[in-house]
Amino acid sequence: MNIVIGGGVGEHGRNCFYVEGQQASIMVDCGIMSEGDAHPYPRLTAEQISRVNWLLLTHSHQDHTAAYPWLVSQGFRGQVLASEETFAQLPFEVEKPCVIEAGQGLDLEQDLHVSCGRSGHCVGSLWYEIDFQGRRLLFSGDYTEDTLLYACDKLRGHWADIAFLDSSRNPVFGSAEALQMQILRAVTNTIREGRPVILPVPRHGRGLELMQLLYGIGHFRLDEDSQAARDAIPFQQEWFKQPLKDASSQGGSIYFIADTQLKKPGNRVLAERLVAEGGLLLLTGHAEDNSFSMRFVKRGEASIISYPTHASDRAVDLLCSLNSFAQVVRTHSERHPDPGPITLAD
């Protein structure tokens, strides 16, 4: 069995893992790199893509899914496995969808069994344990146990011939709790000074976690997509470990903008105005090099404190001690190099 890393190791983005079996192949995720990259798509050939019977999506974010239309243009005709919530969040239609529920196990083919659990990253996000042609592989997707709101089915007592584990969060910035406290302190101090706070967040993901963290600090001003994510919670309760606190606090304004890179002109105008008025533009995730969010950072008009939506190296070390993985590849980070093609001997 051969495994080709199409992206997502030694870099932030383009998560894609191609597993070549004897008669067929599978793929886990199909992300792209940031806009402006000369070749943002997975490093796979059309021949490899055409052999894929099943594509498994861990969640809906573009660094895990946005190459799907490109895959189709390159000859992909296989089926796609994901949670119902992930399919609903995608900005494109999938031709052959197959829904899997968290905690479920499915026999997809004679030599292909998949089980999964909630990964704690966002509504619909999953980790996968895959038994394929006599080998077991584990893919964590974007994984964190350090959540205030999202439920995570913790990886404990599992085994695999190889595990691909999210190691995106840099431990030099401190523990998950320390990062949460840094964000809480920065927002609290800004609101006490009478200045607004602007939080660009993903449409699906850490925005709800930040609402839980910042409850009672100020008055939340939610854009349409952030409000929609909040309103959907009663219909998605299985993805949360506790209720989301009320958003009707009094005080200064905390703006939630579901546009992490500030791609929309209206959001950029709002951010420019609020920053000019003394507001804090706080980025809590990855800022792409050529994005408008990064322009604010380079001008000294934005701060970055990453919210812990990913596992750290230390967390991965703990996972390795609590499970039995013969081989581990750390993903989603420039800190760990791409090992190149991997062969699992028969």
Rounded CA gap, 305 and 297, in Å?
12
Give the pLDDT confidence score for residue 246 in this predicted structure: 82
* Cβ within 8 Å of residue 111, ≥6 positions away: 21, 132, 133, 134
Give the pLDDT mean for 200-216: 96
| Domain 2-169+310-343 and domain 174-304 have a common topology | no
Give the pLDDT confidence score for residue 260 in this predicted structure: 95
Q: What is the CATH number of domain 2-169+310-343?
A: 3.60.15.10
* Cβ within 8 Å of residue 92, ≥6 positions away: 68, 69
CATH 3.40.50.10890 holds for 174-304: yes
Give the pLDDT confidence score for residue 289 in this predicted structure: 85
| Whether residue 39 has pLDDT greater than 90 | no
User: Within 13 Å, how many C-alpha atoms sit on residue 80's CB side?
Assistant: 25
| Whether residue 290 has pLDDT greater than 90 | no
- If pLDDT is split at 50, 70 and 90, which confidence band does 23 have? confident
Q: Are 195 and 279 in contact (CB under 8 A)?
A: yes
Which of helix, strand or coil describes residue 280?
Answer: strand
Put simply, whether the predicted model's pTM sits higher than 0.85 gets the answer: yes
Rounded CA gap, 39 and 254, in Å?
37
| Whether residue 35 has pLDDT greater than 70 | no
pLDDT tens track for 110-119? 999 999 999 9
| Whether residue 38 has pLDDT greater than 80 | no
Q: Is 29 left (phi over 0), alpha (psi -120 to 50) or beta?
A: left
Going from N- to C-terminal start, the domains of the chain cover 2-169+310-343, 174-304
Give the pLDDT confidence score for residue 34 in this predicted structure: 77
Q: Beta strand 159-160 with 324-325: parallel, antiparallel or unpaired?
A: parallel
Rounded CA gap, 171 and 162, in Å?
23
For the chain, the average pLDDT equals 95
Give the pLDDT confidence score for residue 37 in this predicted structure: 73
